Chains A and B, each alone.
Chain A
Amino acid sequence: MSTTMRRLPATAALAASALALAACSGGGGFDDPAPGESPGGATDAPAGELAVLIGSSGDAETDAVTAAVEAWSAETGVTASVTVASDLPQQLSQGFAAGDPPDVFYVSTDHLAGWAANGSLHPYGDQLANVEDFHDSLRENFTVDDQLVCAPKDFSTLALVINTDAWAEAGLGDDDVPTTWDELADVAAALTTDSRVGLSFGPEYQRIGVFMAQAGGGLVAEDGTTAIVDSPENLAALEYVQQLMTDGVMAYPADVGAGWGGEAFGTGAAAMTIEGNWIVGALRNDFPDTPYRVVELPAGPAGKGTLQFTNCWGIAADSDSPDAALDLVEHLTSTEQQIEFASAFGVMPSVRSAAEAFAAEFPEQEAFITSADFATGMPTAEGAAEVISDFNAQLEGLANADASEVLASVQANLQAALDAAG
């Protein structure tokens, strides 16, 4: 008994010193890392050097970006290193928290608002020399509080991808390319066989949203502060998709044993899919024997509509050399460089001056670039990404769901998010 009592002071002293030590190390390790020190991780470069962090789709993209950055380094004499992130948002978050992020990195529209709001991003849009050259809709996507935060890197739109063998087999010709919802349902039915569905795309707003756009609906009103999810237009879109599923002419990729629309298309489980131009590279690598063509999506009750996705080149507010970083971004978004990226890994240039060259070089992808004229971007308000992922979770069960209930719940969540974001 007495032994235990006497041990108390020693234990207390131990705990106290542990806390004291912890507090000291907190001061040294988190507040102001000396230049060149890297508590954040592997993405760091010595002072005066630029660290570029990218989320790469594969070797082709990594090599192309590395080559472009090296070319810039040779020109300017500023060394720069390219690192591929395994989990980009996580690694960037760690860098921002440690006060030592990479200088230049990819930013998706999902994360833009959060990082812009906490001041992690250096809003350099007004210093960008080629700012007028970017597509307007892309600039809008990266504008927060009337300020262009970062330069659009490239973009993609969704279009209808058709397996031409299946098409011919079903006795369809060039004139049968669907231009309305009814025609799409008809060709999907014609293409459906025992072992194949006519159409397949992922259970997410990022695909089904095209029908909402074609019906004249959407998620956020023009003013950016009102949610318009709970509209008859959106309901019509969801009910149209439900009808396709009920008729058995459309199925989600998971239901036909595929991970995404491109895989369902490549394996022949689906004759048509709605995907972006990344499918071109994926089919070339994984399913080189699948013959296909890309056409614009059919028009809905309110006309043509599709979705577009984009990333931008973010510059960290904590960057040691923002000027060099800006120069690098200007180099990476220049017309020639973007055409090189386009031919290396199949993205669409974000600048108007490269559009013609792109269409000339990739005539088979023309539908993707012409779709840009009527494409809608993703909502970028803070918290919108969470609402969309909740929407997507509900869309997974769309076949048996009450579409108006789904829309009502998303409406409430999105309005709450928009109100919170101010």
Chain B
Amino acid sequence: MSTQRAVLARTASRGSGVRGREAQAGWLFVAPVIVLLGLFLVLPVVMAAWVSVSDWTGRGSPFSAEVDFVGTQNYSELLFGGGLATQDFGTALRNNSWYVLLVVPTQTALSLFLAIMVNRKWLRGSSFFRTAFYFPSVTSSVAITVLFLFLFSATGVVNKVLQAMSVSGPNWFADPRGVLHVLLAWLGVERGPAVLTDHAVLGVSLWQWLAGPSVAMSVLILMAVFTTSGTFMLLFLAALQHISDEVDEAAMMDGTTAWQRFRFVTLPMLRPTVFTVMTLGLIGTWQVFDQIYTGTQGGPGKTTVTPAYLSYTASFQSQQWGRGAAIAFILFAIIITMTVLQRRVIRGRDKDGL
């Protein structure tokens, strides 16, 4: 394929020869994709990048003459302004960091575990389990969010079950307390030490950064793990089935235990899939929007606001289009950085011979 394209390029650059017209035909065939990508991918990205450094107010084209370049003003107001915009952004980053920190490892571990379980040859009805575990992934996230809203309402099923066990459940979706703060409160720590409460990053005190996900966010974390584990299980399952039985048998002949086979044979062979799953997980969790938009609208107490949702509200509700676009680009930078970092980490372990 690539050789063919190289030949195409070479003949085209010479501008002559019996194959010269093939280049034109080639361009003709890729033209629809170029147009579609340009119109729906490149142009919006360029527009958003421009909006993030302009004073566009949301009326008319951002490329019109009245719109001025304001440099990094939108970014600096967001990161260093210290006002409500900075506080909101800091809160959104705090919320989403906890979400990512808890969802990504959990869903990766759980989906790997599920994949290994349903990959067992002796498991009866394994196709039933595969379908069952995959089912939440097929269902629309909006439908699942609504379902969870009912399950976890103050008088919902979850609290009824807890009540039957003589536990009074929290008012899940209305509880803005961070779970770490709740745990600390049980231990008698109501207020943080001054070193944490007096210092703030992005307008949010360190004590608040360490609050943990709110009870409401915890439900969303649970939901994310529940809905995505099935998808990633499928990826792991495909990779597992790619590992031939001989490898496992050879390891068995060497007298390894089941754990050693998993740790030193299966897991290293799954590393590309682990990378894929974690990358997809990172991207998906940093971009979380639907669940917030349909479920909590950022509440209670702004503890489920995420940068993606904040970008939306800043633009469409507050008419701060530059700020909204700037949030989107910072989010983009975060995702890229995390992915690169993660790649480094996984590669580094490769050298150590995992």
Contact = CB atoms under 8 A, between A and B. Distances in A.
B315 interface: yes
Interface SS majority for chain A: helix
Interface string A17-53: 1110111011000110000000000000000000000
Identify which of B43, B173, B299 gathers the most chain A CB atoms within 10 Å of its CB: B43
Contacts of A393: 176, 298-302
A417 to B, nearest CB: 7
A3 interface: yes
Given A97-B59, A396-B299, A257 B153 contact: yes
B319 A118 contact: yes
B13 interface: yes
B348 interface: no
Given A10-B9, A21-B35, A99-B60, A413 B84 contact: yes
Given A6-B9, A257-B153, A30 B61 contact: yes
Contacts, number: 137
Interface string A239-256: 000000000000010111
Contact of B83 (A7, A17, A416): A416
B315 A93 contact: yes
A387 B319 contact: no
Contacts of B127: none
B38 A6 contact: no
Contact of A96 (B37, B59, B318): B59
How large, as a class, is the contact surface on chain B?
35 or more
A225 interface: no
A17 B34 contact: yes
A327 B318 CA distance: 30
A21 B318 contact: no
Contact of B39 (A22, A99, A254, A390): A22
Contact of B319 (A7, A26, A30, A111): A111
Nearest to A316: B59
A301 interface: no
A118 B321 CA distance: 11
Given A118-B58, A257-B154, A22 B299 contact: no
B61 A31 contact: yes
Interface SS majority for chain B: helix
B8 A99 contact: no
Interface string B41-78: 01100110000000001111111100000000000000
B151 to A, nearest CB: 13
Interface residues of A, number: 51
Contact of A118 (B2, B12, B57): B57
Contacts of B37: 18
A6 B10 contact: yes
Contacts of B39: 21-22, 25
A26 B37 CA distance: 13
A385 interface: yes
B171 interface: yes
Interface in A98-151: 99, 110-111, 114-115, 117-120
B145 to A, nearest CB: 15
A254 B6 contact: no
Contact of A396 (B9, B154, B301, B318): B301
B317 interface: yes
A396 B58 CA distance: 32
B248 to A, nearest CB: 38
B8 A115 contact: no
A269 B328 CA distance: 42
Contact of A390 (B58, B88, B173): B88
A417 B47 CA distance: 27
A254 B153 CA distance: 8
Nearest to B154: A257
A285 interface: no
Q: Which 10 A-B pairs have the closest CB atoms?
A: A114-B319, A118-B57, A254-B174, A22-B43, A22-B38, A257-B154, A257-B155, A18-B38, A10-B9, A393-B302
29 contacts: A2-B6, A3-B3, A4-B2, A7-B2, A19-B42, A21-B34, A21-B38, A21-B39, A22-B43, A26-B43, A26-B61, A26-B63, A89-B316, A93-B319, A97-B59, A99-B59, A114-B319, A118-B59, A254-B173, A254-B174, A257-B153, A382-B319, A383-B318, A386-B84, A386-B88, A390-B88, A393-B298, A393-B299, A397-B301
Interface of A: 2-4, 6-7, 9-10, 14, 17-19, 21-23, 25-26, 30-31, 87, 89-90, 93, 96-97, 99, 110-111, 114-115, 117-120, 252, 254-257, 382-383, 385-387, 390, 393-394, 396-397, 413, 416-417
